[in-house]
Structure 1
Amino acid sequence: MAFKNGLQSSDDILSEINMTPLVDVMLVLLIIFMLTVPVLTHSIRVDLPRASATQAAENAHAITLSVDRSGTVFWGQAALDRAALAQRLAALARANPQAEVRIRGDRRVEYQHVLAVMALAQKSGLSQLSFITEPVGNAQP
């Protein structure tokens, strides 16, 4: 826009562009994009089980609990009942609260047996639980 200063006697026209409205518009657009982009990128996905798992790093101090098809729980190779398992998990939690417990559940075992092992571990104070599974290509029918 051309403005004439009334104090100057010359008839020169100011030929500079006023940048303030342009900067204001750009800042408003920037704020709008900053608010809308995170909303678009954080959508809920339901198809997560399709991803294949990678093998976890070996931890020599991790405890492996196996639950067979009948619901029997094994600590290493020794079969335990619920009371003995609760005592061992409580002792493990007292010795090392950050110990990792890995659960190997037979795929045909009822869910309640695996859930009972998880609940015992949680009640004892252990919070690092993981599951051991077969890779998709090695699964047996």
Structure 2
Amino acid sequence: MKTNTPTLPPGRASAVAAGFFLAIAAFTSPASAATPSQSPAPAHVMTAAAHESIDSRINSLHSRLQITQAQEALWQKVAQVMRDNADTMHALRATRVSQMNSMNAMDDLKSYSQAADAHADGIRKLTPVFQTLYDSMSDEQKKNADLIFRTDHHHPAKKS
């Protein structure tokens, strides 16, 4: 069966892959939520851990992408969107965990839908700022970024 799936130019495809990788890294599957016999960590502990985790990913990516001083302002915009997206996903996860024991099947589906919508919104927010950064990169940096996102964007999903 032939589909009419549009293809993206290489730079745009990398930006979409980057957005996917960065956004999915901030999303935890429902399987990782607290079960009825578990009690979730206190909110302040979860918030600190979430910020440490996203900051760790941001710092690692900054280093691996070999961001130059001239690109730093563009990188900071990418990093801020990553933090904002992580905060949004964290808030949705916290709400889901706090309501887990009282959710019925429809509540569960709606909660998952909210997370999926937030994930998609996060990618839409990240793509243009990453595109601007990507466009500023040297050919060598772009090849490096392409390789990073080609190989890394699947890893967070494998951890769940």
The interval holding the TM-score normalised by the smaller chain is: under 0.3
Largest Rg, 1 or 2: 1
**How does the TM-score come out when normalised to structure 1?**
0.23
**How does the TM-score come out when normalised to structure 2?**
0.21
Answer 1 or 2: higher relative contact order, Cα 8 Å, separation at least 6: 2
